[in-house]
Structure 1
Amino acid sequence: MGFLYEILHYAMLLYTYAIIIFILMSWFPGARESSFGQMLGSIVEPYLEPFRKIIPPIGGMIDISPIVAIFVLQFAMRGLDFLFIRLLSTVFGI
């Protein structure tokens, strides 16, 4: 069970880093149009899209939806931590 927790935890952590890299790529002209940027966009955009529908850009230019998406992902990671700690303590008496 601990192995499953580690896989999920590190997958969520890597996804958070992917979102951050994708956000930072918007600062460099043409970075998102590169092959790496397109590949990263195909991974990150499906998660960011619902947040962009709910949270409009501020002033028409500043998009804070990725920040909210990262917060939601961090809350999910905390929930995963709590769930596995609770399960491990009840099942194994730790």
Structure 2
Amino acid sequence: MKIVHQENEITLLRLGPARSEAEVVKRELFFDIKGQEYSCDVLLERNATGEDYDDPENFYQMNKEMVDAALTLFLSENHLYNNLDKHHDNE
């Protein structure tokens, strides 16, 4: 499933297993940006919605806010923004 997030085209590839750490449920999300594969942890709501989903599209639809937050954090920490790439290409 392809989504656009902060001017980045991101393909959601697959999900890792759900795991609990200190009473917080996390699920690893694997995704692709410009042909490079990455992953990040998505914190799940208290009811662990998405813990039992295997399809990235269903998982995204049920956890959109949490996935978007995880992707925003990942992009920020790793400085992966298409608009920055465009800026550097013009210099």
- TM-score for both structures, normalised by structure 1: 0.31
Q: Which has the higher contact order (CA 8 A, sep 6+)?
A: 1
- TM-score for both structures, normalised by structure 2: 0.32
Query: Which of the two has higher C-alpha Rg?
Result: 1
Greater fraction helix: 1
